[in-house]
Structure 1
Amino acid sequence: MTALAPNVVPFASPAAADGPEFVETPVAYDALVLASFGGPEGQDDVIPFLRNVTRGRGIPDERLEEVAHHYRHFGGVSPINAQNRALKAALETELAGRGIDLPVYWGNRNWAPYLDDAFTAAADDGHSTLLVLATSAYSSYSSDRQYREDIALAITDASLEDRVSADKVRLFFDHPGFVQPFQEGLDAAVTEFLEQGVAASNIHVLFSTHSIPTADAVRSGPRDVDWGEGGAYVAQHRAVAAHIIEQLATNVTGGSTVPWQLVFQSRSGPPTQPWLEPDINDVIAELPAVGAKAVVIVPLGFVSDHMEVMWDLDTEAMDAASEAGLLAVRTQTPGVHPAFVTGLVDLVIERIEGTPASERPHLTDLGPWYDVSRAGDCENVRLGFKPAAAGLVP
C-alpha cells in the first residue's frame, strides 16, 4: 500500500477524508456493514477459530486447547454468530420501519462470514459508500483500532480500493441506547435484593469488562489527553458505571449509593505481562469480608452474551459467588434490546445527516466520541501501526 501523508484518512468518504473530529456534513451512504469478532459454529471449528484469533503469536494448539474447553462446553458453538444474525435482522427491521433504504451486510474478524466477503458482496451489489458499525463500544486496540485495521485489510485484500469508501460509526459507550439495558438490569436486580431484605449497603455492584494489557490500555484514546491510569478504556467504563450508579440512587435506592467497582475478566496473556486488574473472581472472594450479602454483576463491556459472558461470568463468577456464600445475579447485555437497536440506527442517521456534535446524545462528559479517530489512537505497542481506516494516520 502506498505511504500516506499525515492527516489523511485512508479509504474515507470525501466528508471524512480530511479528518475532522466530527463529520457534520451529510453523506449518502448506500450500505451498512456490521463488523464483529466472529466465533466457531461447531466442534471442528474451535481450534481453527482460535488460530485465527491468535494469529502471529506462535501459540501451539496444545495451549489453544486450554481455551477451547470453554467452547467445547457449549458444543463448540459460540453464541456470537447467532447474536449477530439477530442484530442484523433487528437493524434491518428498524431501518425499514423508519423508511431508510440501507442494506445491511455482515462480516467478522475471525470466522465466516469474513469482513472482506461482506465488502465484496456490497461492492458487487453496486454499493460504494459504506458505513461500518462495529459491535464494540469502547476505546482500545482490540475493540477499536483493530476493527479499523480490519476495514483497511478487507478493502485491500478484496482489491476494492478504487470501488468503495468506508467510514465507521463512532464508539457508543455512553450513548443512551447502549446504557439503558444495563440500567434496567441493575435497577431490577437491586430492587429484587431489597425486596428480599438485603440492605442497600450490603449489595455490591461489580461492573465487569474484558481485561486488556496495561500497555494497550494506557494507549487507548487520543494521545494528547491525560486519561489517567488505564487510559480512555478505563475512563470510559468508569464514567458510564458512575452514571448508572447515580441513576440507580434516583430510581431505586432513594438517594443511597450502593458500593460498586470496575472489575476485569477473561485475561489471556502470559503471567509476565501486566493486564488490567482486579480480576472479578478475586474481588468476589473478598466481598464477604467487607459485609457484602449480595452481588450484582453488570457485564458493562459486552454488547451481547458472548462466550466471555456465558463462561467467565455465568459459570466461573457465579461459582465464585456461591463459594463466597453470596446471593448473585448477572444482569442483561444490550443484545437486541429495542433501545439498543434504536440507538444504533440513531448513530447511523447521525452520519447520514451530518448531525452537529452539539446535538448528539451522550450520558457522560467524555462523549460524544469522535467520528474520525485521532492520530495514534489505540496503538498496539507490540505490533506497531498498521494501515487503518476511519482515522488519521498513523
Structure 2
Amino acid sequence: MSVLKSIGRKYATLNARPWSKSPTGIVLLNMGGPSTIPEVHDFLRRLFSDKDLIPLPFQSLLAPLIARRRTPQIEQQYTDIGGGSPILKYTKYQGTKMAELLDELSPDTAPHKAYVGFRYAQPLVEEVMKEMKEDGVKRAVAFTQYPQYSCSTTGSSLNEVYRRGVKGEAGDVKWSVIDRWGTHEGFIEALAQNIEAALAKFPPTTPRSQITLLFSAHSLPMSVVNRGDPYILEVSSTVAAVMARLGHKNPYRLVWQSQVGPSAWMGMQTSDAIKGLARLGKKDVVVVPVAFTSDHIETLYELDLEYGKEAHELGMTMIRSESLNESPVFIRALADLASKHLKAVTASEKEGEAEYTSVQLGLRCPGCTNETCGKQKEWFAKGGQPEAS
C-alpha cells in the first residue's frame, strides 16, 4: 500500500481540478447498491424494471409491485451488514488509485479521472454524464467492472451509456469500451492470492488437498443463458485460470448464487452445493466470490451470513476468500487494462483503422431480439459520438 500512497502523492495534482487539459474519463460501470437504507426501494425498482437483467412478463406493472413487496426484507439485510452497501466506497477507492497509476502508465492520455456509473443506485449513469460534461471530457472509456461479460450486466450498462450518450448528455465525447477481462493475469493473481490467504487460515493439521474450493458467481436466468449469453463460459474461463495459477492442488466446483423468482436459473445453487458437500463428508471449504470486484450484499449477507450460518449448522468449516476491495494487485490490474486499451485505441486511430471496441463485443447473442443492443454495439464501434442535432 505504501507504493500506491507514494504514487498518489506524486500525481495528486493531476487528478485535481482545474486541469491544464480536459481529463480522459474512465467510467467504471457496475450495478451498484444502496449506500443507505432509504435508497433500497428505488434500487430494487430500477433493478426489477431492467429487462436486460431480469426479464419479466408485464414488467412495467410487476416491477414496482415486486420492489415494494421485497423492500422490507432487503432493508433488513442491508441493516444486518451495517446499514448499506460498501460497493460505492470501494469502487471510488479503486477508481482513484487506478487513475493515479494510469497517469504514470499512460502519460499521453493524462490526466485521467475515474467516474463511477451505477445502473440501479447512486451515482447513476445520467449523473455521471452531467459531471463529465462539466469537466469538459472529450475522450472516455466505458470500463465494465463485471470481469465476465453478460448482456444482462455489462450489456445493460452499455445500453444505458448509449441511450444517454447518443443524446449528447455527456457532451461531445469519443467513447471506447473495455467490455471483459476475466482472464487478465493481474485479476487472476489477485483472486489467487486471496484464496491462498484463506487456505492459510485452516489449522496446519488440515490437509490442504482436502479443502474444497467453491467458486461462487451470480447466477443468470436460463432464458438469458439459452439465447447465447457468453457469461457462463467466461466465468468458467476465470475459474480455470485461477486453478492453473494455484497448481490444481485443491478439488473445486463452480456454483451459482442469488437466484430471484420461480423461473429456471443457472445451477447448481451455492447453498445446495454447501449442503451437498456436507452430506458427502467434505466439511472444509473456501468460498470464492469469482465474479465480484468488491464486497456488497451478495458477499457480506448472502455468502457470509446466510450461507455461513448454513455451513456452521452442518458442522462445516467454511472460510470465504476476501473480496478484491483495496487489493493493490487488483488496482494495478485495472490500471494495466486501461493503459493498454488507451494505447491500442490511439495506435489504431493513427493507422486510420480506429478500433474502439473488442471484436467479441460486436457479436450479438444468436438469440438476441433487443434492438437497443444492436444499436449500442454499432454506436460504440464508431466511437460513440452524439447524434447531430
* Global fold match (TM > 0.5): yes
Identify which of 107, 113, 121 aligns with 2:123: 113
| Overall identity of the aligned pairs, in % | 23
1:171 is aligned to 2:180: yes
Show the counterpart of 1:277: 267
Deviations along 1:210-244, one digit per CA (max 9) or x if unpaired, are 011012123355xxxxxxxxxx2122222221222
1:189-268 mapped onto 2 (5 Å cutoff): 189-193=198-202, 195-221=203-229, 232-249=230-247, 257-268=249-260
Show the counterpart of 2:90: 83
Residue identity opposite 2:371 in structure 1: F
C-alpha distance in 2, partners of 1:337/1:178?
10
Relative contact order higher in (CA < 8 Å, ≥ 6 apart): 1
Show the counterpart of 1:148: 158
Deviations along 1:26-58, one digit per CA (max 9) or x if unpaired, are xx9832222222222222211122112112632
Residue identity opposite 2:78 in structure 1: Y
Q: Aligned in 2, Cα 1:390/1:174: closer, same or farther, shift over 3 Å?
A: farther
1:172-187 mapped onto 2 (5 Å cutoff): 172-187=181-196
Following TM superposition, by how much is the alpha carbon of 1:275 offset from its aligned partner in structure 2, in angstroms? 0.2
C-alpha distance in 2, partners of 1:171/1:377?
15
C-alpha distance in 1, partners of 2:291/2:217?
4
| Structure 1: unaligned runs, 5 residues or longer | 1-27, 222-231, 250-255, 358-368
1:301-340 mapped onto 2 (5 Å cutoff): 301-340=291-330
1:101-140 mapped onto 2 (5 Å cutoff): 101-140=111-150
Q: Aligned in 2, Cα 1:355/1:107: closer, same or farther, shift over 3 Å?
A: closer
Following TM superposition, by how much is the alpha carbon of 1:380 offset from its aligned partner in structure 2, in angstroms? 6.2
Show the counterpart of 2:33: 39
- Asked if 2 retains the 8 angstrom alpha-carbon contact of 1:202 and 1:291, the reply is no
C-alpha distance in 1, partners of 2:228/2:333?
24
Q: Equivalent residue of 2:213, what SS?
A: strand
Q: Which moved more, 1:29-38 or 1:257-266?
A: 29-38
Residue identity opposite 2:97 in structure 1: A
- Asked if 1 retains the 8 angstrom alpha-carbon contact of 2:364 and 2:374, the reply is no
Following TM superposition, by how much is the alpha carbon of 1:379 offset from its aligned partner in structure 2, in angstroms? 6.5
C-alpha distance in 2, partners of 1:248/1:71?
34
Deviations along 1:146-205, one digit per CA (max 9) or x if unpaired, are 121011122145545x72232211311110121112101222333443x53122443111
C-alpha distance in 1, partners of 2:241/2:278?
26
| Structure 2: unaligned runs, 5 residues or longer | 1-21, 51-58, 348-356, 381-389
Following TM superposition, by how much is the alpha carbon of 1:291 offset from its aligned partner in structure 2, in angstroms? 2.9
Deviations along 1:96-142, one digit per CA (max 9) or x if unpaired, are 34443222222221122221221222223222221111211112122
Identify which of 306, 327, 342 aligns with 1:352: 342
1:188 is aligned to 2:188: no
- Asked if 1 retains the 8 angstrom alpha-carbon contact of 2:155 and 2:373, the reply is no
1:391 is aligned to 2:377: yes
Structure with the largest fraction of helix = 2
1:374 is aligned to 2:362: yes
Residue identity opposite 2:28 in structure 1: L
C-alpha distance in 2, partners of 1:329/1:47?
31
Following TM superposition, by how much is the alpha carbon of 1:289 offset from its aligned partner in structure 2, in angstroms? 2.9
Q: Aligned in 2, Cα 1:320/1:135: closer, same or farther, shift over 3 Å?
A: same
C-alpha distance in 1, partners of 2:240/2:102?
32
- Asked if 1 retains the 8 angstrom alpha-carbon contact of 2:159 and 2:376, the reply is no
Q: Equivalent residue of 1:183, what SS?
A: helix
Identify which of 46, 49, 63 aligns with 2:70: 63
Q: Equivalent residue of 1:303, what SS?
A: coil
1:30 is aligned to 2:20: no
Q: Equivalent residue of 2:26, what SS?
A: strand
Identify which of 70, 76, 81 aligns with 1:74: 81
C-alpha distance in 2, partners of 1:389/1:101?
31
Q: Aligned in 2, Cα 1:379/1:310: closer, same or farther, shift over 3 Å?
A: farther
- Asked if 2 retains the 8 angstrom alpha-carbon contact of 1:31 and 1:102, the reply is yes
Q: Equivalent residue of 1:264, what SS?
A: strand
TM-score (norm 1): 0.77
- Asked if 2 retains the 8 angstrom alpha-carbon contact of 1:141 and 1:378, the reply is no
Residue identity opposite 2:153 in structure 1: S
Q: Aligned in 2, Cα 1:244/1:387: closer, same or farther, shift over 3 Å?
A: closer
TM-score (norm 2): 0.78
Q: Equivalent residue of 1:140, what SS?
A: coil
